[in-house]
């Protein structure tokens, strides 16, 4: 019998397996962070517009060049089993190489090759930093954080410092997406 959200106490930690058996009664977005369920509120429309636009841009490029698969939000990635952590980036990319060993009928073991997060007003710096660190520690090659209001992007990769890109800069990730590049301003269709 599946668990329901109401049966999980706030002070209780759960496993990845218990989290996967949850059956929320509504359309809430849930993640598992260090064994605790974290619920996200609905993002503002600009968040969804940017996310959908980026899924279309990346998806078209990835499909054309047969590089792998671009997935929208609500795709779960098991970043850690101890402590139990399942995250769902706003947009993710799995390379063709990774797809060969992925079961698309279940949450995906490990981080996506590329995770993309679109900032919302409810996102805190501390929570976003934790999420980025978890993606990179679990094997992500890169994480892009998009700032719709500022029309900027931050690129995080294993190593010293993130790169901040403004509207006129070019965003590219040749290691994962050879040949893909675009001006950062092109990521934000509603902000033009």
Mean pLDDT check: name the lowest of 24-28, 59-63, 172-176.
24-28
What pLDDT, in 10s, does the model give residues 92-145?
999 999 999 999 999 999 999 999 999 988 888 898 999 999 999 999 999 999
What pLDDT, in 10s, does the model give residues 31-84?
889 989 888 878 888 999 999 999 999 999 999 999 999 999 889 999 999 999
Q: What is the per-residue pLDDT for 12?
A: 78
In whole angstroms, give the CA distance from residue 113 to residue 85: 17
**Topology of the domain covering 42-191:** tt1808, chain A (3.90.1570)
The residue that leads in pLDDT, 183 or 11, is: 183
Q: What is the per-residue pLDDT for 191?
A: 47
| Lateral strand order in the sheet of 108-109 | 36-40, 29-33, 84-87, 77-81, 108-109
């Amino acid at each position: 019998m599946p668990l329901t959200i109401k049966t999980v106490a706030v002070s209780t930690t759960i496993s990845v397996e218990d989290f996967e058996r949850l059956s929320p009664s509504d359309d809430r977005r849930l993640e598992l962070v260090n064994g605790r369920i974290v619920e996200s509120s609905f993002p503002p429309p600009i968040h969804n517009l940017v996310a959908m636009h980026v899924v279309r841009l990346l998806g078209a490029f990835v499909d054309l060049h047969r590089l792998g698969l671009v997935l929208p939000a609500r795709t779960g990635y098991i970043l850690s089993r101890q402590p139990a952590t399942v995250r769902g980036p706003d947009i993710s990319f799995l390379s063709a190489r990774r797809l060969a060993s992925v079961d698309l009928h279940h949450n995906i073991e490990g981080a996506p090759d590329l995770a993309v997060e679109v900032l919302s007003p409810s996102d805190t710096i501390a929570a976003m930093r934790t999420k980025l660190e978890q993606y990179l520690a679990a094997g992500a090659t890169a994480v892009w954080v998009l700032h719709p209001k500022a029309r900027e992007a931050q690129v995080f990769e294993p190593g010293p410092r993130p790169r901040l890109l403004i509207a006129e800069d070019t965003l590219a990730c040749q290691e994962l997406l050879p040949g893909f590049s675009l001006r950062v301003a092109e990521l934000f269709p509603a902000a033009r």
